[in-house]
Amino acid sequence: MSAVIHLNEASFSTAIESGVTLVDFWAPWCGPCKMQGPILDKLVETVSEKATIAKLDVDQFPAPASQFGVRGIPTLILFKDGDVAQTLVGVQQEETLVAAIETALK
């Protein structure tokens, strides 16, 4: 079972307000998003002590995607204490995401 947290518009603000949180803006019909899913499942095993890994379905909950200028999916935004630390567009490999999280933790 995945430890990736599924967010909605109500839980989004709380999820990103403190610590390091990686949010995958995605949709169920998106092919590249389906490729990103298993990578996030592995990532959560690697970084669960350091960061929260979450997903937000942009079809069901469009407001946060609009707020942060998400134009294409998958878009992964790394937040640190509520602020955008890094934005990555397209499928990202685990090593890239681990490096981004480590940088945000400094």
Catalytic residue among 5, 9, 19, 30: 30
Catalytic residue among 4, 23, 33, 78: 33
Residue 2's pLDDT is what?
54
Q: Which domain holds residue 92?
A: 5-105
- Strand, coil or helix: 29: coil
CATH number for the domain harbouring residue 22: 3.40.30.10
Q: Global pTM?
A: 0.94
Residue 1's pLDDT is what?
42
Question: pLDDT by residue (tens digit) across 11-41?
Answer: 999 999 999 999 999 999 999 999 999 999 9
54 in active site: no
Quick one: how far is CA 54 from the chain centroid?
5
If one counts the domains in the chain, the total is 1
30 in active site: yes
